[in-house]
Structure 1
Amino acid sequence: MLAKKISVLLIACLGCTLMAQLNAAQLRDPTLPGDASGRVDVATHSGEQNLILNSVVKTDSSAYAVINDQIFTVGERVKGIKIVGIAKDSVSLADGRKLEMFQAVTDFKGQ
């Protein structure tokens, strides 16, 4: 009788532990930027791809964009999508999408 109660208690504890782990896996990392982070989901034929504009360097004669931690210029392709324009805080893509810098970064950058 005692062994049966201990077994039931042990199974209940294991079940609670598994449920807690499943719930923890669904939590969002609080250190990530919010929805206005400049992250754009781009759907292509090969599946869904995330493009993140990390930074932009623009001078009178040249412009570079760091997307997904790689450096690109106008005319190059990022994950199969051509870059058609680079502004001081955004990048325009051939599929009509526009990647923008995280607002807090652009506010600080100009000061």
Structure 2
Amino acid sequence: MLPKKISALLIAFLCSTIGFSSNATALRDPTLPGNFSGKTDVETDSSNNTLVLNSVVKNNSSAYAVINNQIFTLGERVKGVKIVKIADDSVSLADGRKLTMFQAITDFKGQ
């Protein structure tokens, strides 16, 4: 009688464990970004040659440019093209392109 109870309990435990694990794989972590997060946009932008200057941060000794939501410094390469100059509201690339921020953003600078 005791082995039958143990077997029945063991089977019930295993069935419930399998049921919980299959339910756990269907649950989504609520802290993960949604399908329309910025990460998805970066991945789609990286498939083509579109470069968007999001912002520029400069101080006396260093300058950083945020291009396609990634941070770059002078001399680094973005999509294979070297950054040759970081100005207050633009970035110059070695292939001759100049990335500028939206005019609406630069209008408020310094006011």
Off by >2 Å, runs of 4+ in structure 1: none
TM-score under structure 2 length normalisation: 0.56
Which residue is equivalent to 1:73? 73
Aligned-partner Cα distance in 2 for 1:52–1:109? 18
Identity percentage of aligned residues: 78
In structure 1, stretches of 5+ residues that fail to align are 1-46
Which residue is equivalent to 1:50? 50
Superposition RMSD in Å: 1.3
Q: For residue 48 of structure 1, report the CA deviation from its aligned partner.
A: 4.7
Q: Considering only CA atoms, is the larger Rg found in Structure 1 or Structure 2?
A: 2
What letter corresponds to residue 89 of structure 1 in structure 2?
A: D
Per the alignment, in what secondary structure is the counterpart of residue 74 of structure 2?
coil
Aligned-partner Cα distance in 1 for 2:78–2:110? 27
Aligned length: 65
Structure (1/2) with the larger strand percentage: 1
In structure 2, stretches of 5+ residues that fail to align are 1-46
Structure (1/2) with the larger helix percentage: 2
Aligned-partner Cα distance in 1 for 2:62–2:48? 30
